[in-house]
Chains A and B, each alone.
Chain A
Amino acid sequence: MTRQQPVYLYCVVDRAPELKETEGLADNLYFVCNNGLYAVASKVEEEEFGQEGLKRNMADFEWVKAKASMHERIIELVMADIDVIPFKFGTLFNTDASLKAMLEPYGQEFKTILRKLANKQEWGVKIYCHPERLKANLGNDDSEILKIEDEIKSSSAGKSYFLKKKKDEMIEKTLNEKINECGRESFELLKELSFEARINRLLPRQVTEREDEMVLNSAFLIDKDEVGDFQNMVDALKMHYEVKGFLIDCTGPWPPYNFCGLSSGKGQNE
């Protein structure tokens, strides 16, 4: 008897998508339909994606990178034709019947989400900052820091020690203010041009493998007609902030991973 292969779910759509591609990505894809909804899925190997295999493989970063990229590419392939509800990596079912059984209770909610997503795109904006570069720019336009620098020059050794300490504290405080201001202003201005907006956890440097620090990680759901305005705003923010030591990174369009929360509150990994 052949063992049953797990069923991997990528996304849910409301008609059979036309998949145009040449890389063989879609070769194993098929649809499980229920009541006007189509789950885009593929059969995967039990050894790789079964309970034990998955546990083992999730510890292998190379495997995760490859499979996560595949997950993304397949959803993008579907998204090229139709609005999608993207599922989280590793959403697996025992059989087609169990996948179909999931579509039944969630069906109305999926349809509501798809209506919300119609004619919209998700874009991501991450802002990074190089604290040292930002610091180097601070003194020049902060009158209080300039004032204390003058005082240090004309003070005795003992007094200048305390003044220097005070200056460092002042710089630290101003630095935080500048970072918050950049994050808040950028987010608020972009949010105004969006249907929905979301702030996500910052990723530490060990994950980003960058020298600078992430100071904003945000996602926006934008009406397709507003994308141009949104990008113009990103450019304006870049003009304003990048000379000050920030870097603004805008990517998209993405599958709407951030905007498909189920009302039960369990639809999104919070």
Chain B
Amino acid sequence: MNSVVVKSKEITLLEVLDRVLDKGVVISGDMVISVADVDLIYLGLKVLLSSVETIEKLRGSPFVGPMQEAR
């Protein structure tokens, strides 16, 4: 057997939030209640996430792959 990490609750709360709050299909339209608003508030997590760009700048030459997320 190899040593690839099997999901454990401890490790994955961050992993869960990273996906569930940020990824997944987003539908826009009249029938959806408030996803757009939720995007903006994000409990300040959004604010923290946006500081990532600053970190990348500090590091000088950030790793930019061909699939780098467009932002």
Query: Could you tell me which A residues sit within 8 Å of B by CB distance?
Result: 6, 12, 49-51, 54-55, 58-61, 64-65, 68-69, 71-72, 85-94, 98-99, 101-102, 106, 124, 126, 172-173, 176, 179-180, 183-184, 187-188, 191, 197-204, 206-209, 213, 215-217, 231-232, 234-235, 238, 249-252, 254-255, 257-258, 260-262, 266-270
Contacts and interface: CB of A to CB of B under 8 A. Distances in A.
Contact of B23 (A101, A197, A269): A269
Given A55-B37, A91-B32, A207 B25 contact: no
Interface of B: 2-5, 7, 11-29, 31-35, 37-39, 41-45, 48-49, 51-52, 55-56, 59-63, 65, 67-71
- Choose among B23, B29, B60 the residue with the greatest number of A CB atoms under 10 Å from its CB: B23
A51 B71 CA distance: 28
Contacts of B71: 201, 270
A88 B23 contact: yes
Contacts, number: 198
Contacts of B68: 199
Given A51-B33, A176-B59, A65 B17 contact: yes
B7 A99 contact: no
A234 B63 CA distance: 19
Closest 9 CB pairs of A and B: A98-B31, A257-B23, A88-B24, A92-B33, A183-B63, A257-B19, A231-B4, A89-B20, A68-B20
B14 A208 contact: yes
A68 B17 contact: yes
A266 to B, nearest CB: 6
Contacts of A207: 14, 45, 48-49
A206 B55 CA distance: 12
Nearest to A131: B59
A236 B38 CA distance: 40
A85 B25 contact: yes
A93 B48 CA distance: 29
Nearest to B18: A203
A51 B4 CA distance: 41
Contacts of B15: 124, 126, 251, 254
B38 A58 contact: yes
B16 A90 contact: no
B20 A99 contact: no
B57 to A, nearest CB: 12
A65 B61 CA distance: 34
B32 A270 contact: no
Contacts of A235: 2-4
Nearest to A182: B63
